[in-house]
Structure 1
């Protein structure tokens, strides 16, 4: 009888989490409005959704859709809970970085330190380039402005 009660309570809690869009397995189902907006902006793309809490008190929700933009490039679209696109990130090859950024990387990092390169467009239509590098077993994002000028280095956890 105890096992039956335990199983029933586990089922109920799992069902409740599923209704809130959070499955115990880590699969996220965003609100319908977010899904609809994504499908409208990226027809035919199949996203893998995740959720992130941001803001000073982690009180803002961001829904992140990772998907294949092309057969060779991955993309990330980030929405708030009102389905407003907050950022779009597209993986690009080194050759698509502005020359100024390429020169900076060549002078400061060995080629094997570069892990990923992306162009990022935020909700204000501001374009930046983010280059993920590894140095001394630590990971960093080296950020460049739209013209390839160095902006900042951010250490990742």
Structure 2
């Protein structure tokens, strides 16, 4: 009986070990070009890196580095595999959103539904605002344009 339990425990632990590499948000080490560019742009900062697949067919690789720009602010730098910055996202308080976006949120969502707010600047220098809200148990990213106009809502898992 002890041998059977030991074998079952061994099999179960081997399945758990095998699951280790299947997470889509697995922490990764980016290529040297990405690390070099990040350190050049954000000296002294340490990022936690994740690998994401994007594009129409999930055929493009992006390296996302999460780090703190200061004690209270979390940021995200997104690079392609050649070390080119594709987007930079940083947290902001509600009062830093354009007035038009603030009015939209006030009209359509209770204040306790807002989970996170960020300003995003892409590689074409286009600025958008992303507001994470929770409504009826679902999480959405609301995207506003540079002037605060509502653009789109994207449901997140």
After the TM superposition, list the runs of 4 or more consecutive aligned residues in structure 1 that deviate by more than 6 angstroms.
Answer: none
Show CA shifts across 1:36-82 (max 9, x none).
00000011111000100112222211000000011111000000001
Which aligned pairs between 1:1-157 and structure 2 lie closer than 5 A? Answer: 26-157=26-157
In structure 2, the residue corresponding to 1:71 is in which secondary structure? coil
Show CA shifts across 1:110-139 (max 9, x none).
000000000000111000000000000001
- State the TM-score, normalized to the length of structure 2: 0.82
Task: Give the total of aligned pairs.
Answer: 136
Gaps of 5+ in 1: 1-16, 18-25
Q: Distance in 2 between matches of 1:57 and 1:142?
A: 24
Report the CA distance between 1:88 and its aligned residue: 0.4
Q: Distance in 2 between matches of 1:59 and 1:131?
A: 27
Q: Distance in 2 between matches of 1:100 and 1:53?
A: 33
Instruction: Show the counterpart of 1:23.
Output: none
Q: Distance in 2 between matches of 1:90 and 1:144?
A: 15
Aligned 8 A contact 2:34 2:79 in 1: yes
Aligned 8 A contact 2:27 2:51 in 1: no
Report the CA distance between 1:156 and its aligned residue: 1.0
Gaps of 5+ in 2: 1-20
